[in-house]
Structure 1
């Protein structure tokens, strides 16, 4: 969230400046005078202790990996509510904290990547979906079937899914494997009719994203202002589940079998 990033940056800069100013100017004066009354101020002591910790957290979170918690069922069956995931922050370039501006280009999303981003219509929050369409692609969705540049994808029915996270009133869903080029993955169908049918041409610098839970995902098919995700809104690539429990203190369900699973 933006507010957390802002607080982290401000605290890191503040403690760093206090520590640096004391080291360059005030510490020498105290040392020259000596005496009990010239001990290090409490503010300086706290700044010296906390600055390295805050700086390390800021660097790791901004440029290496950042943790997120899955709040919805839109990426079932691959990601469940309560999954705690790690996101690679440098996969698509290094970006500044707070404004998310890229200053070092490294790579671009590939078809099938599971990405964390700030949607155009909800820039204060982070969402997670799968990249289906790349710049220039013509993406269609008809009858629960995705097509790319006029070619419908193949699907293999794997059976019935009756696990956690199904919407109210649904006892089960159809589990399929979608043969997305280069990234086959599982998807769910809950409703008999397709949700969000249409056809879209992805403009330059944008991507078309969808959730794996096709009948319960607010994704590019349903966005009204624009159906596409701008490249500058990307936050990173999801790659690992490191914990699964319903809340931060694991008072609800806890599934140790999901720990360490790679996100496909």
Structure 2
């Protein structure tokens, strides 16, 4: 969890994939840290309706970071703009963040940029609930039909 650099009043939840001094790049959808590809294995598919209002299969990949932490990522759009990036040099005192929904994530590849130490808040341990589709969190009447049951009270790796 960190404060969004362009607007510190907004909290963001993304995964730390780059530490100060690291070189980060995405090539053909695979994350590279300091020139070494992060192991990525396809583990299945889910229905796109679990994420958006559209249907269709979404590939799920399991990545394992150098520290041994494994987590699942989603590949909504093959060959999307975020699947091939420049190499980013993480500056001292900053971190590189990426969302697990790689094709629909406002993260360090795009608008977030590098996140300074001072913006770090803490670690997310639990997803209390999650809604999909285009509903605003304030549209409570839409929650029952858009609730992602698989993510209700879900512990985070």
TM class, shorter-chain normalised? 0.7 to 0.9
Quote the residue 2:17 is aligned against: 132
Q: How many residue pairs were aligned?
A: 147
| TM-score, normalised via structure 2 length | 0.80
**Counterpart Cα distance in 2 of 1:194 and 1:213:** 12
Q: Cα–Cα, structure 1 residues 170 and 200, in superposed 2: closer, same or farther, change >3 Å?
A: farther
Quote the residue 1:144 is aligned against: 29
Is the radius of gyration larger for structure 1 or structure 2?
Answer: 1
Quote the residue 2:96 is aligned against: 208
CA RMSD of aligned residues (A): 2.5
Q: Cα–Cα, structure 1 residues 258 and 219, in superposed 2: closer, same or farther, change >3 Å?
A: closer
Quote the residue 2:117 is aligned against: 231
Shift of 1:244: 5.0
**Counterpart Cα distance in 1 of 2:11 and 2:4:** 7
Shift of 1:168: 5.1
Contact 2:126 2:156 (8 Å CA) reproduced: yes
Contact 1:240 1:260 (8 Å CA) reproduced: yes
Contact 1:194 1:215 (8 Å CA) reproduced: yes
Q: Which runs of 5+ in 2 are unaligned?
A: none
**Counterpart Cα distance in 2 of 1:190 and 1:164:** 11
The structure richer in helix per residue is 1
If asked which structure has higher relative contact order (CA below 8 Å, sep 6+), I would say: 2
Quote the residue 2:40 is aligned against: 155
Contact 1:187 1:214 (8 Å CA) reproduced: yes
Contact 1:135 1:205 (8 Å CA) reproduced: yes
Quote the residue 1:80 is aligned against: none
Shift of 1:234: 1.3
**Counterpart Cα distance in 1 of 2:150 and 2:78:** 31
Deviations along 1:133-152, whole A, 9 cap, x unmatched? 01111111111111011101
Quote the residue 1:263 is aligned against: 156
SS, match of residue 107 in structure 2: coil
Q: Cα–Cα, structure 1 residues 201 and 135, in superposed 2: closer, same or farther, change >3 Å?
A: same
The structure richer in strand per residue is 2
Q: Which runs of 5+ in 1 are unaligned?
A: 1-115
**Counterpart Cα distance in 1 of 2:105 and 2:149:** 26
SS, match of residue 236 in structure 1: coil
| TM-score, normalised via structure 1 length | 0.50
